[in-house]
Amino acid sequence: MIKIENLHKNYGKLEVLKGISTTIGAGEVVAIIGPSGSGKSTFLRCMNVLENPTSGRILVRDQDVTDKKTNIMKVRQNVGMVFQHFYLFPHKTVLQNLTYAPMKVKGLSKDQAEKIALELLEQVGLTEKADEYPTRLSGGQKQRVAIARALAMQPDVMLFDEPTSALDPEMVKEVLEVMKSLAHTGMTMAIVTHEMGFAREVADRVLFLDGGVLVEDAPPEEFFTNPRSQRAQEFLQKML
Partner 1 sequence: MNLDFTQFIPSMPYILKGILVTLQIVVLAGVLGFVLGIILSLFKISSIKILNWVADVYTSIFRGTPLVLQLMLIYYGSPQIIGYQIEPYTAAILSFGLNSGAYISEIIRAGILAVDKGQQEAAMALGVPYGKMMWDIILPQALKNILPALMNEFISLTKESAIVTTIGVMDIMRRSYQVGAENYSFFEPLLIAGLIYYLMVITLTLLGKALERRMRRSD
The answer to the question of residue 200 lying near partner 1 (CB under 8 A) is no
> Starting at the edge strand that comes first in sequence, how are the strands of the sheet with 157-161 ordered?
79-82, 157-161, 188-192, 29-33, 205-210, 213-218
Contact between 234 and 210 under an 8 Å Cβ cutoff? The reply is no
Asked if 184 is part of the footprint of partner 1 (rule: CB under 8 A), the reply reads no
| Residue 73 touches partner 1, criterion: CB under 8 A | yes
For partner 1, the closer CB: 114 or 216 = 114
Residue from 22, 54, 63, 77 touching partner 1 (CB under 8 A): that is 77
Smaller CB distance to partner 1: residue 42 or 205?
42
List the one residue out of 229, 199, 200 whose CA is nearest residue 216. Answer: 229
- What is the size of the binding site for partner 1 (CB under 8 A)? 29
Does 83 contact partner 1 by CB under 8 A?
yes
Q: Whole-number minimum distance, CB 43 to partner 1, in Å?
A: 15
Single out the segment in contact with partner 1 by CB under 8 A; choices: 25-33, 62-70, 72-80, 220-228: 72-80
Our finding on whether 149 is near partner 1 (CB under 8 A) is yes
Q: How far is CA 120 from CA 95, 114, 221, in A?
A: 10, 10, 32
Least separation in angstroms between residue 104's CB and partner 1 is 5
Residues 38-57 that bind partner 1 (CB under 8 A): 48, 50
Q: Is 89 in the site for partner 1 (CB under 8 A)?
A: yes
**Of 142, 97, 136, 137, the residue nearest 117 (C-alpha):** 97
Using a 10 angstrom Cβ sphere, with 0-12 exposed, 13-18 middle and 19 or more buried, the burial of residue 92 is middle
Which of 76, 142, 205, 231: binder of partner 1 (CB under 8 A)?
76
Tally Cβ neighbours within 10 Å of residue 136: 11
The one segment of 6-14, 30-38, 81-89, 165-173 that binds partner 1 by CB under 8 A = 81-89
Contacts of 208 by beta carbon, 8 Å cutoff, 6+ apart: 33, 34, 214, 215, 216, 217, 218, 223, 227, 229, 231, 232, 235
Nearest Cα residue to 158 out of 174, 127, 135, 181: 181
**How many whole angstroms separate alpha carbon 81 and alpha carbon 63?**
18
Query: Per CB under 8 A, does 85 bind partner 1?
Result: yes
Q: Does 65 bind partner 1 (CB under 8 A)?
A: no
Decide if residue 104 touches partner 1 (CB under 8 A).
yes
Binder among 60, 95, 101, 147 for partner 1 (CB under 8 A)? 101
Cα dihedral 158, 163, 164, 168 sign: negative
Q: Which residues bind partner 1 (CB under 8 A)?
A: 48, 50, 73-77, 79-81, 83, 85, 87-93, 100-101, 104-105, 133-135, 149-150, 153
